[in-house]
Amino acid sequence: KAGVTQTPRYLIKTRGQQVTLSCFPISGHRSVSWYQQTPGQGLQFLFEYFSETQRNKGNFPGRFSGRQFSNSRSEMNVSTLELGDSALYLCASSLTRYNEQYFGPGTRLTVT
Amino acid sequence: SQQGEEDPQALSIQEGENATMNCSYKTSINNLQWYRQNSGRGLVHLILIRSNEREKHSGRLRVTLDTSKKSSSLLITASRAADTASYFCATAVDTGRRALTFGSGTRLQVQP
């Protein structure tokens, strides 16, 4: 079975721009979660989607949003990018909301 | 915020030696998971231990959980150079919330 994939793998954006990242979960997995990893803050939970509905949200500003499609693919969007948004963005999928999460390789976003 | 704190922050050992990493957390949990991350890439799920379990094994990995002390340890036996990575513990507060709270990680270096 193919693992979780994320696109793009690397991205460079300018302050003030917006960005959309994609996550393709493992086939059959219905839960997708997003995490941000930075050297200063470590790994932090952004949000979780299950059956196209956001189930949980971490402590991030409203500039961070996401959605999930009927095929379980998920996107996250960051508007009005700030330098501090530079990070590795990881998504994870799981079969249901109660199973182990499997992570993708991440999208490395650099904001200049 | 990070619930888990890992100790040590960095560990350097020789191939063939055992590596022990510890994780402490603050609140009651449903389960605790250990992940490995190679050099800023995605996280690889290693093992999940539920709050009613005390010990779990998977290959060269042994995980213990002491809920009274709110701590867990990961033992890697007969380490290999390929085990060089960062190791994170992650806690799930309850089954209804997918948000994993990650520790700060232990950087393990296995010298060949």
Domains of chain B are: 4-111 (2.60.40.10)
Q: Which residues of B44-69 are buried (b: 16+ CB within 10 A; e: fewer)?
A: ebbbbbeeeeeebeeeebbbbbeeee
B41 contacts in chain A (CB < 8 Å): 105-106
Task: Please give, rounded to a whole number of angstroms, the shortest distance from the CA of A40 to a CA of chain B.
Answer: 10
Instruction: Kindly report, residue by residue over B15-28, the tens digit of the pLDDT.
Output: 999 999 999 998 88
- Scanning B17-36 for CB atoms below 8 A from A yields 33, 35
Whether B100 has its CB under 8 Å from any CB of chain A: the answer is: yes
Whether B99 has its CB under 8 Å from any CB of chain A: the answer is: yes
Instruction: Kindly report, residue by residue over B21-52, the tens digit of the pLDDT.
Output: 999 998 888 889 999 999 878 899 999 999 99
Nearest Cα neighbor of A98 from B101, B93, B63, B1 is B93
B48 contacts in chain A (CB < 8 Å): 100
Residue A16, sorted as left (phi over 0), alpha (psi -120 to 50) or beta, turns out to be: left
Task: Please give, rounded to a whole number of angstroms, the shortest distance from the CA of B90 to a CA of chain A.
Answer: 10
Instruction: Kindly report, residue by residue over A12-47, the tens digit of the pLDDT.
Output: 999 999 999 999 999 999 999 999 999 889 999 999
